[in-house]
């Protein structure tokens, strides 16, 4: 039982790492698009949400494929942990965290996308 929980934790960490690598790559792509195309900066909040959705989906699909069971739960965990890590980094480097409707909607989106990604990951296998 102990070995299984260690593997589960390792897969969660790997999926979060994969999610943040995806985020980093997508942020670079969006930055290049904003610099070299007529894409307006007013689109940044929408693009930020799209990047978050894609990154969580990648991580939750990965963990569901690797673990092979309870994809909805594992994907939801990845989605919520991704959001909490972003909140922590935001608090650490930018500004204090305020729990408002926008933050709650981002948390809800993270959870739902993680669950959907986990379900997709189980069915891909």
Reading the block at residue 51, the tokens are 């990047």
From CA 111, how far away is CA 1, in angstroms rounded?
27
Count how many domains the chain has. 1
pLDDT score for 124? 84
Contact 75, 66 (CB under 8 A): no
Averages of pLDDT over each 10 residues, the chain, 125 residues: 70 96 96 91 91 96 91 94 93 81 92 95 84
**Which two three-digit tokens encode residue 25?**
């790559």
- Max Cα distance, the chain (Å): 55
Output the pLDDT for position 125.
Answer: 63
pLDDT for the residue 2: 55
Domain boundaries, position 64:
2-124
């Amino acid at each position: 039982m102990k070995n299984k929980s260690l593997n589960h934790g390792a897969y969660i960490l790997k999926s979060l790492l994969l999610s943040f690598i995806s985020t980093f790559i997508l942020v670079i792509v969006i930055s290049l698009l904003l610099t070299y195309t007529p894409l307006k900066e007013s689109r940044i909040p929408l693009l930020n949400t799209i990047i978050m959705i894609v990154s969580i989906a990648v991580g939750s699909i990965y963990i569901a494929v690797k673990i092979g069971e309870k994809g909805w739960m594992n994907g939801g965990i990845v989605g919520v942990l991704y959001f909490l890590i972003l909140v922590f980094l935001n608090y650490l480097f930018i500004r204090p965290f305020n729990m408002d409707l926008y933050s709650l909607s981002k948390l809800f989106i993270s959870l739902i996308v993680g669950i959907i990604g986990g379900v997709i990951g189980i069915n891909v296998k």
